[in-house]
Amino acid sequence: MAELGLGTAGLGNVFGDVDDEAAAEVVAAAAGAGVRYFDTAPYYGFGLAERRLGRARPLGSSVVSTKVGRTLTGGGCVFDFSADAVRRGIEGSLERLGLDRVDVVYLHDPDDHEEEAATRAWPELRRLRDEGVVSAIGVGMNQWEMPARFVERLDVDVVLLAGRYTLLDRSGERLLDLCGERGVDVVLGGVFNSGLLIDPRPGAWFDYAPAPADLLARAQRMQEVAASAGYDLAACALAFAAAHPAVTSVLVGATSAAQVRANADAFGREVPADLLSRLVSG
């Protein structure tokens, strides 16, 4: 059964300024709501999200994932999937997180670097896994085609797929089915498609840009159907993402403790399968 995870891009001020106190409250609220999986990356605030998570990270059985490939430099981040960059990247992440090992590491958006990621970064990740520095390795992307090729050709433990398996965009279903066949865990992010599946009002965004009129209209129809059955659209979006048998975690970001609690409440709602089917078919 899929569990709720916390995405920490917001703690890196990616979606607006969040101060240290509010960031700590987000992590504490997530832990208080039973969240045990926290995803981060050096790219989120150029190390800020990792540092904030490291300072606030709850003790105990929490699982932490980070990413390599977007490498920190003096001026920000650059793509670098070399073996040296992977090892240095992990060392930097461990220092910022205050850890001596990390549970999961993803290749971060290797869209234009497939061969370098597969032939240079991946062998280094395998060595780090063999050394016990990393427990599981995978790839995290906003597309499904390249991750599918990675699953077919490499010993992938887990895939993080953002935005491609939602009520509005189910293009990633083939990847999820492949992962289910191969025993590869799937973590889903972006299940609200940048907020359109939370509040589909005019001006809402879909995948980091203003939503096209046709998608806005679809989301509004979904909202009407969900409301007529007594459910929020956000709860339906989370339930749909969690229902696929290959999915082990659904990542949702937050920039306030109130958002965390709202997401946890929505995730905890049991949504009837027939309602999800109506939303998908409509």
Q: Per residue in 32-82, pLDDT tens?
A: 999 999 999 999 999 999 999 999 977 667 999 999 999 998 778 999 999
pLDDT at 1: 85
Residue 110 near residue 138 (C-beta atoms within 8 A) = no
Which residue is catalytic, options 37, 43, 44, 106?
44
How far, in Å, CA of 69 to CA of 137, rounded? 13
Whole-number pLDDT of residue 141: 98
To which residue do tokens 């007529």 refer? Answer: 228
With respect to CATH, is domain 3-182+244-269 assigned 3.30.450.30?
no
CA angle 101, 106, 109 (to 5 degrees): 150
**Known catalytic membership, residue 44:** yes
Cβ atoms within 10 A of the Cβ of 178, count?
Answer: 18
What is the reported pTM? 0.96
CA dihedral 68, 11, 9, 195 (to 10 degrees): 170
N-terminal to C-terminal alpha carbon distance within the chain: 26
Q: Domain spans of the chain?
A: 3-182+244-269
Low-confidence ranges of the chain (pLDDT < 70): 59-60
